[in-house]
Each structure stands twice: as structure tokens, then as C-alpha cells.
Amino acid sequence: MDFLPTWDSVRPWHWWILGALLLILEVAAPGIFFVWVAIAAFALGLVVFVFPLPVPLQLLLFAGLSAVAVVLGRRYVARLPRDPQADTLNNPAARFVGRTFTVTQSIVNGTGKVRAGDSVWLAQGPDTPQGATVRVTGVTGSVLLVERGDPHP
């Protein structure tokens, strides 16, 4: 078992293997966290390759590089433009906001049904006769919030 590092001998390739394992963990775990720690491990491997350092200093540098990489990485990700459809990924009804649909069951006393795509959805809005069109203004759970649409169905 000479390939395992001891306290007195951590080589650059040990850090590179740790970085690769962290990247594999990033693929398996949700979120973007381990990639920044992996970058710190790869960077430390390069530092140790150029400047052989004692193990305690390597560990301190790894902790510091990891903290800096996570902070800078989170700032970078926060500045990336967001895809508007990403917010509707787990809320399929949200994709209907702004679209116009036909009332299939008259909206009476604020409640009715509309045909959206190939399914019928509950709708809340002003009283509207069957066959009229309504525009979706929002979503509450699985209920579409609507307002009167085009006066010609």
C-alpha cells in the first residue's frame, strides 16, 4: 500500500485525484459546490508540484483555496443570466402565463375550466361564458388565474 499518502508525503497527484473525485461527486450531487473545491484541489496540486510544501501547510492552503474558490464561484454563478424557463421547470402551469385559451366550462362565481393545450385546467377569474377566450395572468397551485381575452372567441 505504498501508493497511499502518509502524513509526511502528499504528492501533487494526490491533490489531482482528489479534484477528479470531487468532480465526479459534483455530477452525482445536486447544485454547484464541489466543482469549486475541485478547482482548489487542482490548483493546490500545481502549487505542490512547483513548491514542495509540508502537509500541514498544504491542508491550510487547501482550506483557504477552497473557501476563496467557493465564494468567487458563487459570485460568478449569481451573475450569469437566468433562463426564464428555468423557473417553470417544476411548475408546468407557469408556462401558460400570458397565453390565451378557450373557456370549456363557463366561469361562474369566479371558477370554471379552460382548455390549455391538450388538457383542461381549473380557472379563476371574472364570469365568462363557455367558448370565450381568456388570457392567463398567473398561477396558484394548479389553478390558472385568468382575465377576459379577445371578445371574439
DSSP 78-131: HHSPPPGGGGGTT-GGGGGTT-EEEEEEEEETTEEEEEETTEEEEEESS-B-TT
C-alpha cell at 136: 392567463
Phi-psi region of 76 (alpha: psi -120 to 50; beta: other; left: phi over 0): alpha
Residue 149: its pLDDT value, please? Answer: 76
Residue 37's SS3 state is helix
Residue 120: its pLDDT value, please? Answer: 92
Q: What is the pLDDT along the chain (153 residues), one digit of tens a residue?
A: 555 555 567 889 999 999 999 999 999 987 888 999 999 999 999 999 999 889 899 999 999 999 999 999 999 988 888 766 555 556 667 788 889 999 999 999 999 999 988 889 999 999 999 999 999 998 888 899 999 876 554
**Degrees, nearest 5: CA angle 51-52-54:** 125
Domains of the chain: 12-79 (no CATH), 88-148 (2.40.50.140)
How does DSSP classify residue 76?
H
pTM recorded for the entire structure: 0.54
| H or E stretch covering 23 | helix 12-28
Between the alpha carbon of residue 52 and those of residues 9, 10, 38, 106, 114, the distances in Å are: 10, 9, 20, 77, 70
